[in-house]
Amino acid sequence: MSANLQTPIDYLKGVGPNRADLLRSELGIHTYQDLINLFPNRYLDRTKYYKINELQRNSSEVQIIGKVTGFKEVAQKRGKRLVGTFQDDTGRIELVWFRGQKWIRDSIKLNTPYVIFGKINWFNGVFNMPHPELELLNEHKNNLRSSMQAVYPSTEKLSNKGITNRVMIKIMQSLFLETKERFSETLPDHLISELKLLPKSDALFNVHFPKNQELLSGAEFRLKFEELFYIQLQLILKNLIHKSKIKGFPFESVGDYFNNFYKAHLPFDLTNAQKRVLKEIRQDLGSNAQMNRLLQGDVGSGKTIVAFMSILMALDNDFQACLMAPTEILSVQHYQGFKKLSNKLNISIKILTGSTNTLERRKIHESLENGELQILIGTHALLEDKVKFKNLGLAIIDEQHRFGVAQRSKLWKKNTSPPHILVMTATPIPRTLAMSVYGDLDISIIDELPPGRQSIKTVHRYDKNRLKVMRFMRDEVEKGRQIYVVYPLIQESSALDYKDLMDGYESIVREFPQPNYQISIVHGKMKPADKDFEMQRFVKGETQIMVATTVIEVGVNVPNASVMIIESAERFGLAQLHQLRGRVGRGAEQSYCILMTSHKLSQDSKTRLETMTRTSDGFEIAEVDLKLRGPGDIMGTQQSGVLNLKIANIIKDKDILQSARFYAKRILDKDPSLGFPEHGVILKTYRELSKYKNIWNYIS
Ligand code: ADP
Ligand code: MG
């Protein structure tokens, strides 16, 4: 890249200090380079001319040849607008100006052929075009027209200050004139020929001034590939550097705990996916590098046993391990589960949460520090400074999306050198997204459910079917099953949501009166102890119906619960619906999920409900979710910077992403320091990108 591209934008012909300020503040364009990387949002056909009688109410931007035959001023609430009559031989439309009226009147020649271009509206029985672009037909003929004219991103301020799309195109033209032939190649020759990519300068030219559709596609492909290639290169390098720099604790042997458990106490055969994932983890733990692995697996895919067996590997090498979960309920469940699994193994396990009393706390601190305690399970309480391990070798985080990066890094500091880290999540994100967001973590996926799982029957019912639903509930309760009824609580403080919940609770109590029936209720406004008490009643089977807000969303395991009823299901996101449904189908019985909604449904809600009734594959659901909500929302603001791409689109371009990752990896496998002569251009570009911070935008 020539240094010239770092020239401040002020120096470009046609820009000047005022426009430069606007370009900087509105679009973040500081240099020539930034401007070149301002890619069009879309393209318009400027070879087509419309006749006025061809205009349709839904036409958007059109180009018409005709004459202005007169002006009038129309008073409006504030000030006045200028209206011009524009006609061709088939009809007339109105041109409208709200600003710059005097200048317009003075400069437009009446009854002279013009070409106008702009958006048309239908108003009061006539078409009008506000603030059209106007050009004398004579002059227009002298300009070459592209069949595809770039439309650049803009802002209201830019267009108000006269930096219209036409001006942007002019600026872009002068940029290409000044920097002619100076775009040096940024990808190695062998990639360009292998992938038949357009050379850099052709790609840049054609993305701004496409000669035809084919060249435009080629240009876009090349630029998207390049963008994704350097991001992947960055992520993979980060991972490599991490592995070479941060020494882990190698768990050299697989010892008695693991072998004993595997041979004698495994409660079921592992699925192939579980075995594969355990091998991947085993390999990491046995190496000299610190493990940083994300374990993705759908709800119920059996992540817990994988966590447990990984912990046994730590214990076999005389290290301690901990497991952190987002809620008290989940921690208790893990604790009980681990107790059961390790029943015959003679292992010390304790649980630490906000409600652990002082005496017990002190005992835990002591036995952790002297090494007697081998496994500690708990909530955020594990992160407190007072919690010191003698030799923590492995830290596992369950439902990692509930924790922030800061909390993860606190775990890092619990030993002289960071322990191995395994984060688990049941909110699958599509692989492509995982690849770009967690590209610096290694990823394991459990993509298989344990055998014999019955699929959950999912149906969508309208409020007017409520009587039938109640009858169904009664039948299931008669059979000895338990039922969840979940209400949305979008905002913790929403009084209206609480009212819905309480109304719902009361009508259920009326339908299912004591003493024959017992109903639990759990919501966020209750004291933790009360919540727990109610939850435990349901877990023990003392209550048949649990009315709740989404506090039960994560991880709760009550195998006898076989019906999940979700009220106002249209208000939940897909990920949440999927999580909620995952609370049932955990036992031997056929399970059901009933999505209750009103009749008024948005298009997105319909798609969500249709998706839920069609599939129970978490990854498929995540793909739909990603399409509906966009990547930023899914990852939360924290990580959305990763997706701040200039030309590529994570969703639409996932094939290009995959290919970019493949080639980046292939190159780094062969040449991790990018020292080969044929990789010189990669190293140079990569350094350049890091220097000018462009690439850091992508990395959180
Ligand atoms: P999640 O991945 O959602 O955390 P869990 O680890 O809680 O799932 O497992 C869900 C249920 O499946 C548990 O009751 C567990 O005992 C059971 N399970 C896990 N793996 C297997 C397997 N390979 N065969 C049979 N049941 C299994
Ligand atoms: Mg789990």
Say yes or no: CB of residue 635 within 6 Å of ligand 1.
no
Q: Using the mean position of ligand 1's atoms as its centre, give its distance from the Cα of residue 493 in Å.
A: 35
CA atoms within 13 A on the CB side of 283: 9
Pairing of strands 113-119, 133-136: antiparallel
Which atom, in ligand 1's list, is nearest to the CA of 297? 2
With the most atoms of ligand 1 within 8 angstroms of its CB, the residue from 265, 278, 305, 586 to mutate is: 305
Tokens of 507: 């009508």
Higher per-residue confidence, 160 vs 388: 388
Say yes or no: CB of residue 83 within 6 Å of ligand 1.
no
The pLDDT value given to residue 442: 83
Which atom, in ligand 1's list, is nearest to the CA of 446? 2
With beta carbons less than 8 A apart as the criterion, state whether 647 and 227 touch: yes
Q: Using the mean position of ligand 2's atoms as its centre, give its distance from the Cα of residue 629 in Å.
A: 25
Conformation bin of residue 504: beta by default, left when phi > 0, alpha when psi is -120 to 50 = alpha
Q: Is residue 550 pLDDT above 80, yes or no?
A: no
Which atom, in ligand 1's list, is nearest to the CA of 337? 16
The pLDDT value given to residue 38: 94
Which atom, in ligand 1's list, is nearest to the CA of 271? 23
Q: Using the mean position of ligand 1's atoms as its centre, give its distance from the Cα of residue 588 in Å.
A: 13
Q: With cut-offs at 50, 70 and 90, classify the pLDDT of residue 641.
A: very low
Q: Percentage of the chain surpassing pLDDT 90?
A: 55
Alpha-carbon distances of 318 from 261, 267, 313, 692, rounded to whole Å? 17, 25, 9, 47
Say yes or no: CB of residue 333 within 6 Å of ligand 1.
no
- Non-local CB neighbours of 631 within 8 Å, separated by 6+ positions: 433, 640, 643, 650, 651
With beta carbons less than 8 A apart as the criterion, state whether 377 and 322 touch: yes
Say yes or no: CB of residue 268 within 6 Å of ligand 1.
yes
Residues in the chain: 700
The architecture CATH gives domain 302-425: 3-Layer(aba) Sandwich (3.40)
Alpha-carbon distances of 600 from 349, 356, 597, rounded to whole Å? 51, 47, 8
Tokens of 207: 């993305």
| Ligand that lies nearest to the alpha carbon of residue 583, given by its number in the listed order | 1
Tokens of 144: 């070459």
With the most atoms of ligand 1 within 8 angstroms of its CB, the residue from 268, 298, 331, 449 to mutate is: 268
Fold held by 47-144 = OB fold (Dihydrolipoamide Acetyltransferase, E2P) (2.40.50)
Write out the H or E segment, with its range, that includes residue 393.
Answer: strand 392-397
Say yes or no: CB of residue 583 within 6 Å of ligand 1.
no
With the most atoms of ligand 1 within 8 angstroms of its CB, the residue from 266, 270, 301 to mutate is: 301
Q: With cut-offs at 50, 70 and 90, classify the pLDDT of residue 161.
A: confident
Say yes or no: CB of residue 297 within 6 Å of ligand 1.
yes
In this structure, the residue with its CA closest to atom 13 of ligand 1 is 302
Say yes or no: CB of residue 301 within 6 Å of ligand 1.
yes
Say yes or no: CB of residue 299 within 6 Å of ligand 1.
yes
With the most atoms of ligand 1 within 8 angstroms of its CB, the residue from 295, 299, 304 to mutate is: 304
pLDDT tens-digit map of 287-312: 888 898 989 888 888 999 999 999 99
Q: Using the mean position of ligand 2's atoms as its centre, give its distance from the Cα of residue 300 in Å.
A: 7
Average pLDDT of the chain is: 87
pLDDT tens-digit map of 328-338: 888 988 999 99
User: Per-residue pLDDT averaged across 499-527, rounded?
Assistant: 90
User: Per-residue pLDDT averaged across 554-568, rounded?
Assistant: 86
In this structure, the residue with its CA closest to atom 20 of ligand 1 is 302
Closest CA to 553 of 539, 538, 570, 566: 566
Q: Is residue 400 pLDDT above 80, yes or no?
A: no
pLDDT tens-digit map of 437-454: 666 678 898 988 888 777
- Non-local CB neighbours of 309 within 8 Å, separated by 6+ positions: 258, 261, 262, 278
The pLDDT value given to residue 405: 63
Pairing of strands 545-548, 482-486: parallel
Say yes or no: CB of residue 149 within 6 Å of ligand 1.
no
Q: Percentage of the chain surpassing pLDDT 70?
A: 91
- Numbered ranges of CATH 2.40.50.140 in the chain: 47-144
Q: Is residue 670 pLDDT above 60, yes or no?
A: yes
The tokens 């149906």 sit on which residue? 459
Q: Using the mean position of ligand 1's atoms as its centre, give its distance from the Cα of residue 276 in Å.
A: 15
In this structure, the residue with its CA closest to atom 15 of ligand 1 is 302
The pLDDT value given to residue 193: 97
Q: Which amino acid would we find at residue 624?
A: V
Which atom, in ligand 1's list, is nearest to the CA of 274? 23
Say yes or no: CB of residue 585 within 6 Å of ligand 1.
no
- Numbered ranges of CATH 3.40.50.300 in the chain: 302-425, 457-615
Determine if the peptide bond prior to 559 is cis (ω within 30°).
no
Q: Using the mean position of ligand 2's atoms as its centre, give its distance from the Cα of residue 114 in Å.
A: 69
Considering only the top CATH level, what class is 457-615? alpha beta
Q: Is the pTM of this model over 0.85?
A: no
In this structure, the residue with its CA closest to atom 5 of ligand 1 is 302
> Which pairs from 50-53 meet CB under 8 Å and 24+ separation?
51/88, 51/89, 51/90, 51/91, 52/87, 52/88, 52/90, 52/91, 52/92, 52/93, 52/127, 53/90, 53/91
Would you say the C-alpha torsion 565, 566, 570, 575 has a positive or negative sign? negative
Q: How many angstroms separate the most distant Cα atoms in the chain?
A: 98
Which atom, in ligand 1's list, is nearest to the CA of 305? 6
Higher per-residue confidence, 357 vs 436: 357
The pLDDT value given to residue 146: 63
CA distance 67 to 497: 60
Say yes or no: CB of residue 270 within 6 Å of ligand 1.
yes
